A = this chain, B = another copy of it.
């Protein structure tokens, strides 16, 4: 690795070539690195931050994502530290009335081939990070890649510190505010006008018992609140998301903590009390982008939020990053990774296959997350209709889950992927 220059000039000496360079050390980058390493690639992952880690609080891992962990032999680790909630419960935030519930027990797990798990983001991140380390992914911090040359014999990634990385293929996993997405789209994040605050607090004897077993979502006009337990029931996770009045007024730093109480003033005491659990030091304005069809530029593909940033209402951001990695693992088997060894000329085609397999599904999830979120925040007649609709749904009714959690479908990773690792190494 060259440290001799802080420019991106051609004079820099490239680092020793690897098969795959992954740019970004979030969920998508780690999962993508692990998936291709599992296939037998030599993988280097570079991350801009000075250390690997995750900010944030809880994360809901639906079965479509826990199936991927299961494939990689990591599900037990997630279950050791996470919680399997008994139900997903929706309540009206103004009346407290229960609107609908989905049991997450044996029938659910059997139908979808894996359990519903809630886990601290940092715990899932650490599980993936350790798996990368144990499997020999090279992990580098403090590297900000500004640009990638994606055409030619090798892709070349230019870091802000002057380093240049050569690789046969690049995964651009640099998230919502992706720098590398510019290679295929010039779009900026779309603000949703909603802001989230999160928090985890220790569970005590005073914590309402019901909050310890379920994922509970309170739906209110222009706001909602989510609660569930973490760390084997030691922590209570709370997320409050509300429409910012100051965003509507056009202010740049919108959704300050001063707006919190007002946003929930019509809600039941259980919701208002839960606001005390929030860590108000970090404000999370919620963004997504419109779906785009093409994620691939030559030897580079976008993956995770860089490819399909979505609003959080379906809790699928991390889940879709895991799905991306699993499908990438599949499409490169038998193409890039063959019985005869690695065929570096097959990367571009494999990336296009990956893109084609995944873009439809992730676009649907991006769009559905927007509408689903809208339906959480309605008032007046639409709220009446929403509540009647939710209440009309029987617990055993999987029609709203199958498309997302089901084990088959366009772009859904196979349940059991055959490993070509032994062949490719």
Binding site for B on A (CB under 8 A): 371, 374-375, 378, 381-382, 384-386, 388-389, 392-393
Contacts and interface: CB of A to CB of B under 8 A. Distances in A.
A364 to B, nearest CB: 15
A386 B381 CA distance: 10
A380 to B, nearest CB: 9
A85 B385 CA distance: 27
Nearest to A374: B381
Nearest to A388: B389
Nearest to A377: B381
Number of copies: 2
Contacts of A375: 381, 384-385
Nearest to A382: B382
A371 B381 CA distance: 7
A378 B378 contact: no
Contacts of A393: 392
A132 to B, nearest CB: 41
Contacts of A381: 371, 374-375, 378, 382
20 contacts: A371-B381, A371-B384, A374-B381, A375-B381, A375-B384, A375-B385, A378-B381, A378-B382, A378-B385, A381-B382, A382-B382, A382-B385, A385-B385, A385-B386, A385-B389, A388-B389, A389-B389, A389-B392, A392-B392, A392-B393
When A and B form their complex, which 5 residue pairs have the shortest distance between CB atoms, in order from nearest?
A: A382-B382, A389-B389, A385-B385, A392-B392, A374-B381
Contacts of A374: 381
A315 to B, nearest CB: 20
A345 to B, nearest CB: 47
Contacts of A382: 378, 381-382, 385
A407 to B, nearest CB: 25
A392 B400 CA distance: 12
Contacts of A371: 381, 384
Contacts of A385: 375, 378, 382, 385-386, 389
A55 B80 CA distance: 75
Contacts of A386: 385
A386 B384 CA distance: 10
A375 B387 CA distance: 13
A393 B371 CA distance: 22
Question: Which of A371, A384, A388 has the most B CB atoms < 10 Å from its CB?
Answer: A388
A375 B375 CA distance: 15
Contacts of A384: 371, 375
Question: Which of A384, A389, A393 has the most B CB atoms < 10 Å from its CB?
Answer: A389
A393 B388 CA distance: 10
A246 B371 CA distance: 32
A396 to B, nearest CB: 14
Contacts of A389: 385, 388-389, 392
A46 to B, nearest CB: 42
Nearest to A381: B374
A393 to B, nearest CB: 7
A279 B263 CA distance: 51
A101 to B, nearest CB: 16
